Amino acid sequence: MSIRVCRLSAGFPKSVREVSQGIQPSLYYISKELSKLGVDEHVICLGDLRRRELDGIDLHCVKRPYTLNATRKFRELMREMHFDIVHGHSADAFPYVLSKLISRTDAPLVAHAHEVCLDAIKYTLPPIGRDGRGFLKMASWYYFRLPIREKLIFSTADRIIAVSNYIAQRLRECYNISLSKVAVIHNGVDVSLFRPINKEEAKERIGLGDRPIVLYVGAFTLRKGIHYLIRSFRMVVDRFKDACLMLIGGVPSWYGSSIYYDILYKEINKLDLKNSVIVKGKIPHNRLPIYYSAADVFALPSIYEPFGKVLLEAMACETPVVASNVGGIPEIVRDGESGFLVAPGDIEELYESISKLLSSNILVNKMGSYGRLLVMKEFTWELVAMRLMNVYMELLSNFQG
């Protein structure tokens, strides 16, 4: 049975090199792998992409997706293409929800919950800068728009995909969504791209010789808890003199304030870590495996984390992880096997777990190997696509019946 799916997203990568940010890896790889299974994939996204096709995926661009005019154009596309299923990611399903409320004869809606925006508001609002603009920008967007849209989307959806059991529970707690309506399908990782490279060679390629490396990859935002990692690293350096903490990422454009970035630099200077902490900008997606492979430990000290795709990337490169025991992280990390789980904000526990790994190459290799095997068994994009296909087939069977 051939299925034609319309995927709704605020953005889509312009090329394979640009799939590292936010939910873009999910959008790209889900569409790519479902296409291999025979699904006719069409993506409606925000912007004005010059390319109308990427790896067999048809792209349709809408400049202003939240207007009535865009909703009308969307309905015209629906009538023209005869989609079997509409799959919206987070709040980007809103135009279709409006269309569905106007006419209930459209295709079934699958809503993909990558996070719950009420939690995003709580944990992601940036510190208020001197001019207060960071707070105002985020507050105006989240407080008055996204929660209303999100609740309407999840209430209207015929099926919901949650990226973790944690998110499924938060949907029930925040929006009174029945868990019988939710299918939990974890995100995946590209295991052909994220694979181990010889550690000594990788360290040489990034210019750090044989120094012990602790790596962080991700956004520089308050919810990621990077300041806790920096504070714990002061103790790490006291014990391992030549240890290096590498921070890869930056402040997202939507964050509205760079004050957290300034806070991190103040912590580094205050703790006299200028020679031990390297802050880098964003690294091209296809170069990240070099950094993961060079690292002896990957750390994710988040205060809030719906899933944690960077953990899969590190584990796929056979790098053991130390991560906070919050959100969806315990569904990825096997404590004591692929890495260690620590209490969020516990600097001492972060230090102890990192030190255990830096003290034992045998433990690093053992946990790294286990992590790669776990990813291959449970977290490939091929598996994600097959699980989604099962949801689609079940939904169409119920909808047509």
Q: What is the mean pLDDT of residues 100-123?
A: 78
Which pair of structure tokens corresponds to residue 156? 């209207």
Asked if 55 and 35 touch (Cβ cutoff 8 Å), the reply is yes
Split at pLDDT 50, 70, 90, the class of 98 is low
Residue 92 has pLDDT above 80, yes or no: no
Which residue type occupies 128?
Answer: I
The pLDDT assigned to 53 comes to 74
> Which phi and psi angles does 23 have, rounded to 5°?
-90, 5
What whole-number distance in Å separates Cα of residue 113 and Cα of residue 372? Answer: 26
Confidence (pTM): 0.91
- What's the distance, Cα to Cα, between the start and end of the chain in Å? 16
Q: At what angle do helices 226-239 and 347-358 cross, to 10 degrees?
A: 50
Contact partners, residue 11, CB within 8 Å, separation at least 6 = 22, 24, 27, 45, 46, 47
Residue pair 249/220 in contact by the 8 Å Cβ criterion: yes
- For domain 199-378, the question of CATH label 3.40.50.2000 is answered with yes
What is the Cα–Cα distance from 127 to 130, expressed in whole angstroms? 10
Query: How large a percentage of the chain has pLDDT more than 90?
Result: 61
> Looking at residues 92-116, what average pLDDT do you find?
72
> Which residues have CB under 8 Å from 400's CB, separation 6+?
none
Among 133-137, 206-210, 250-254, which is the least confidently predicted range? 133-137
Pairing mode of beta strands 159-162, 109-113: parallel
Whether 4-188+380-400 and 199-378 share one fold: the answer is yes
Question: Once rounded to an integer, what is the mean pLDDT over residues 209-233?
Answer: 95
What are the sequence ranges of the domains in the chain?
4-188+380-400, 199-378
pLDDT (mean) for 195-217 = 96
Q: Name 278's bridge partners.
A: 246
Listing from the earlier edge strand, what are the strands of the sheet with 321-324?
277-280, 244-250, 213-219, 297-300, 321-324, 339-342
Q: Is CATH 3.40.50.2000 the classification given to domain 4-188+380-400?
A: yes
Q: Which residues of 73-103 are buried (b: 16+ CB within 10 A; e: fewer)?
A: bbbeebeeeebbbbbbbbbbbbbbbbbbeee
Res 132: pLDDT: 46
**Is pLDDT at 99 greater than 80 in this prediction?**
no
What is the dihedral sign for C-alpha 93, 95, 98, 100? negative
For 323-365, how does the pLDDT look when each residue is reduced to its tens digit (9 = 90+)? 999 999 999 999 999 999 999 999 999 999 999 999 999 999 9
pLDDT digits (tens, 9 = 90+) for 119-163: 887 787 655 444 444 444 555 555 557 778 888 889 889 999 999
Say if residue 330 is exposed, middle or buried (CB neighbours under 10 Å; 0-12, 13-18, 19+). Answer: middle
| Phi (first) and psi of residue 51, to 5 degrees | -80, 140
User: pLDDT value at position 68?
Assistant: 66
Closest CA to 254 of 80, 11, 18, 78: 11
